[in-house]
Amino acid sequence: MEIFSINREIINVNRIEELEEKIDKLIDNYRLMKEENEKLRNQVQSIEHNDKDLQEKMTEIRGERELLIEKVQKILEKVEKVEI
């Protein structure tokens, strides 16, 4: 009976060690995934910030373009009046 109990202990110890290894791997994988997720989150925030800046610049450029078109139209109107 003692041999059986010793074998049983060895089996239990082996299983516990296997479980420990699996848990360690899971923890390592979780850490890696968490780090990668943080990097990706930072990239997304950076892209969103750049997109916001570009949208603001485009709005500014549109305003300048409209102002320029208005000025050109006024100049053309003045030139037309002079020719008459």
In the DSSP assignment, the letter for residue 49 is: H
Domain spans in the chain, listed from the N-terminal domain onward: 1-84
DSSP-derived secondary structure for 14-30: HHHHHHHHHHHHHHHHH
User: pTM of the entire structure?
Assistant: 0.56
Amino acid in position 58: M
For tokens 């100049």, name the residue: 75
49 or 16: which leads in pLDDT: 49
Tell me the pLDDT of the chain averaged across its residues.
88
Give pLDDT tens digits for 23-61. 999 999 999 999 999 999 999 999 999 999 999 999 999
DSSP-derived secondary structure for 55-83: HHHHHHHHHHHHHHHHHHHHHHHHHHHHH
Instruction: Please give the Cα distance from 62 to 68 (Å, whole number).
Output: 10
